[in-house]
Amino acid sequence: MNKRYLLPCLLLFAQPVPACGDDCDARALVRDAIEHWRGLSSYTEMTMVIHRPDWERSMTMRAWTKGQEQSLVRVVEPRKDRGNGTLIDDNNMWTFSPKVNRVIKVPSSMMGQSWMGSDFSNKDIARADDIIDQYEHSVLSRETLDDIVVYEIESVPHEDAAVVWGREVLKIREDHVVLEHAFYDQDGELVKKLESLEIADMGGRTIAKRQRMTKAEQSGEWTEIGVNEVEYEIELKDSLFTLSNLRNPRD
């Protein structure tokens, strides 16, 4: 193709026309939701409550993210867990505990295990992005709730995707807030569900302020993450996401 024609062609495709149908649409919704939640970079202070029928504990944490690959989470409260941290860099995950004074790379064998004793797995934390590329997405329904359009999206993992779920169903508002993220097994039974309990304007965006992960098969067990403070699109140094910073915080 001659270069002269290239530009008009590009302009043509740049129109907001769904160029690749339903899947693309749904995929874009999912991607936008994730990017909306995380931003190009972000700083969050949050409280995680782990609830079990006979006990409950809460932890306050600070988290930094940059791009798709890098994030760092550090526990602030309670005092005895202070300094425990998790660093994620390009699908690799490390944890640090000041008590043992060791950085441990989370091996693949532990990716399925619980993160800091919560109902989230290490994999949930480290690889939230997989859902964009490793799944086939389709819009199940569109409804309007309180004047906001809510899309229900079904995401079915590809045959060789490293995902155990049979399908996942997300409810995403048109302003990119995820209302619900449900994980179904391959028999179509609900295994766990992440729900947004409270939505608020924070850090210049509308986000889910309080989210709860519930395991469907164990009643009375859930983990809640509440955002206390959030900032988006902030300047973060690359040195933040390094092993030495995980070990010796310099913030």
DSSP type of residue 161: -
* Minimum distance from residue 198 beta carbon to other proteins (Å): 28
CA separation for the pair 239, 251 (Å, rounded): 11
Question: Measured between alpha carbons, how far is residue 57 from residues 97, 138, 144, 223 in Å?
Answer: 18, 38, 37, 10
Total chain residues near other proteins (CB under 8 A): 24
Per CB under 8 A, contacts with other proteins among 129-188 are 157-166, 183, 185-186
Q: Measured from the CB atom, is 186 or 228 closer to other proteins?
A: 186
Q: How far apart are the first and last CA of the chain?
A: 53
Q: Measured from the CB atom, is 54 or 160 closer to other proteins?
A: 160
Question: Measured between alpha carbons, how far is residue 145 from residues 40, 47, 154 in Å?
Answer: 29, 28, 19
* Minimum distance from residue 95 beta carbon to other proteins (Å): 15
* Minimum distance from residue 3 beta carbon to other proteins (Å): 38
Q: Which two tokens stand for residue 73?
A: 């989470």
Q: Which one of the spans 14-22, 27-35, 81-89, 101-109 is the region binding other proteins (CB under 8 A)?
A: 101-109
* Minimum distance from residue 136 beta carbon to other proteins (Å): 13
Candidate list 20, 57, 91, 133; residue touching other proteins; CB under 8 A: 91
| Dihedral (Cα; 20, 26, 32, 35), 10-degree rounding | -110
Candidate list 52, 191, 231, 249; residue touching other proteins; CB under 8 A: 191
CA separation for the pair 112, 120 (Å, rounded): 9
Report residue 178: phi and psi, to 5°.
-85, 120
* Minimum distance from residue 159 beta carbon to other proteins (Å): 7
* 218 near other proteins (CB under 8 A): no
Q: Which residues bind other proteins (CB under 8 A)?
A: 91-92, 105, 107-109, 111-113, 157-166, 183, 185-186, 191, 217
